[in-house]
Amino acid sequence: MESIYDRLNEFIEADETVAVATIIDVKGSVPREVGAKMIIHPLGRHVGTVGGGCGEADVIKAALDVIQTGEPATVRVDLTEDISMKTLGVCGGIMDVFVERAARQTIDDSRQPAADPSVVPVLLASVRAREPVALATVIDGPNAGRDAVVWLDKSPLGTLGLGEMESRVIADAQDVLRGRQHRLLRYPASTPAEQAVQPPTSNLQSPTSSFSVFVEVQRRAPELLIVGAGHIAMPLAQIAGMCDFSVTVLDDRPSFANQARFPTARQVIAAPLRETVRDLPMDADTFIVLVTRGHSQDVECLLEVLDRPVAYIGMIGSQRRVDAVFELLETEMGIDPVKFDRVYAPIGIAIGARTPAEIAVCITAEMINVLRGGPAVSISQRRRERDRRRRERASGRMNE
């Protein structure tokens, strides 16, 4: 998401007028997810995709009209045709794509505070600062295309022009932001009785017809911390980076931890492992992979992150090695074994991986599965189920 807004900002700064297409709703099987975006350039320098094929061609055609007229439009892409050799792009579902024009323009005080130069730089600044932020956009009606930047802890930037409904919609958008998933909000028309009790000032009146607002949550790029810069870390950093993880590599050996070995990593740190892991900021968007050169280093770093509020902790090692490590931590250090249930060890999804690159693929697949709430079963699931049964049996014996 950040990269597409980077490119959008570049077009705007260069005084180029483009259109932005966003998938706002889907039904059934479609090629892209809600929130997927595409920049349509009048000279064909498009960025991103909303699915390709004939459906995307329809979106591009509509976007070129939007660039000319300035009037936003919603394109329905129907992919439910029967499959034949003559049909293209059939997935079996329907997606609605909102298309709006984006261009450098003089700030309109009725829409945004005069001090705000543009929505796009504000969004980018919040995303880069890892602040929870969303963009609320009116999709239909006379206010279509009006938007507001929404945060959880400060007033919104911009106004949707919804009068008495504005505060309710902003509160709903904040709830969507807390849920961390894009959402299309639909509001019915106000009734005559509701209209009668509204203040007479026209700019405070609620819409008299139904309207919809799409709330696009600007999800922070997940942070991946790879502890250990060995043979698995190299392809893992590259593959995870391609999947939009922001990658940091840590190792205590400068000959391993350097930018030449990890050119795609956002940050490469050569420093003591345990102390550095302890001091690094982590949150619910942090993924940690422990692939050091020895189990003692893995254990030391695991102890520093076991109670941190991170999204994922994965640790390399065979089943035998993992069992031995967890038994050691339980019996000699008194660690509650329940805590080990959050550790993905042995790491990855079972795909029969053998080479470093294949292992990196299975680790990345597991992280994506966690990030997206996917249905794949991790290699570590068997261990967790076995350990839970063992604890239940032990608890049953204690209660007898």
Give 4-50 pLDDT, tens digit per residue: 899 999 999 999 999 999 999 999 888 889 999 999 999 999 999 99
What is the rounded CA–CA span in Å between residue 98 and residue 212? 11
Dihedral sign, Cα of residue 17, residue 23, residue 25, residue 26:
positive
Q: What is the pLDDT of residue 43?
A: 95
State both tokens at 62.
Answer: 């509509």
Average pLDDT over residues 70-97: 76
Is the pLDDT at 114 greater than 50, yes or no? no
Q: What is the pLDDT of residue 201?
A: 45
Q: How do the domains of the chain map onto residue ranges?
A: 1-104, 106-190+208-219, 223-399
Q: What is the per-residue DSSP string for 343-359?
A: EE-S-SB-S---SHHHH
State both tokens at 350.
Answer: 């079972």
Q: What is the pLDDT of residues 138-154, one digit of tens each?
A: 999 888 999 999 999 99
Residue (of 235, 237, 304, 232) closest to 265 by Cα position = 237
Alpha helix positions (H), 82-146: 119-128
Mean pLDDT of the chain: 88
Is the pLDDT at 270 greater than 70, yes or no? yes
State both tokens at 24.
Answer: 């706002």
DSSP strand pairing (246-251 vs 267-270): parallel
What percentage of the chain exceeds 70 in pLDDT? 87
Is the pLDDT at 115 greater than 50, yes or no? no
Threshold 0.75, pTM exceeds: no
Q: What is the pLDDT of residue 268?
A: 98
Residue (of 68, 69, 78, 62) closest to 21 by Cα position = 62
State both tokens at 27.
Answer: 């039904």
Longest distance between any two alpha carbons in the chain, whole Å: 78
Contact indicator for 23, 33 with CB cutoff of 8 Å: yes
Average pLDDT over residues 214-227: 92
Per-residue pLDDT band for 289 (boundaries 50, 70, 90) equals very high
Q: What is the pLDDT of residue 190?
A: 65
Judging by beta carbons within 10 Å of its beta carbon (0-12, 13-18, 19+), is residue 3 exposed, middle or buried? exposed
Q: Tell me the residue type at 362.
A: C
Q: What is the pLDDT of residue 106?
A: 43
Query: Coil, strand, or helix at residue 223?
Result: strand
Is the pLDDT at 174 greater than 50, yes or no? yes
What is the rounded CA–CA span in Å between residue 4 and residue 40? 11
Give strand pairing partners of 75. 97
Q: What is the pLDDT of residues 362-381, one digit of tens each?
A: 999 999 999 989 999 999 99
Between the two ends of the chain, the Cα-to-Cα distance in Å is 56
Residues 6+ apart with CB under 8 A from 322: 315, 345, 346, 380, 383
Q: What is the pLDDT of residue 144?
A: 92
Dihedral sign, Cα of residue 352, residue 345, residue 349, residue 229:
negative
What percentage of the chain exceeds 90 in pLDDT? 65
Average pLDDT over residues 127-131: 84
Higher pLDDT, 32 or 203: 32
The CATH number, out of the four listed (2.40.50.140, 3.40.50.720, 3.40.109.10, 3.40.50.2300), of the domain defined by the range 223-399: 3.40.50.720
Contact indicator for 102, 23 with CB cutoff of 8 Å: no
Is the pLDDT at 296 greater than 70, yes or no? yes
Helix (H) or strand (E) holding 134: strand 133-138
Between 76-90, 107-121, 233-247, 289-303, the lowest mean confidence (pLDDT) is in: 107-121
Higher pLDDT, 82 or 129: 129
Q: Print burial letters for 228-256: b (CB count within 10 Å at least 16), e (below 16).
A: bbbbbbbbbbbbbbeeebbbbbbbbeeeb
DSSP strand pairing (18-27 vs 343-344): unpaired
Q: What is the pLDDT of residue 399?
A: 61
Judging by beta carbons within 10 Å of its beta carbon (0-12, 13-18, 19+), is residue 42 exposed, middle or buried? middle
Average pLDDT over residues 347-368: 96
Per-residue pLDDT band for 229 (boundaries 50, 70, 90) equals very high
Tell me the CB-side half-sphere exposure of residue 136, using CA atoms within 13 A. Answer: 31
Q: What is the pLDDT of residue 171?
A: 97
Judging by beta carbons within 10 Å of its beta carbon (0-12, 13-18, 19+), is residue 261 exposed, middle or buried? middle
Higher pLDDT, 117 or 257: 257
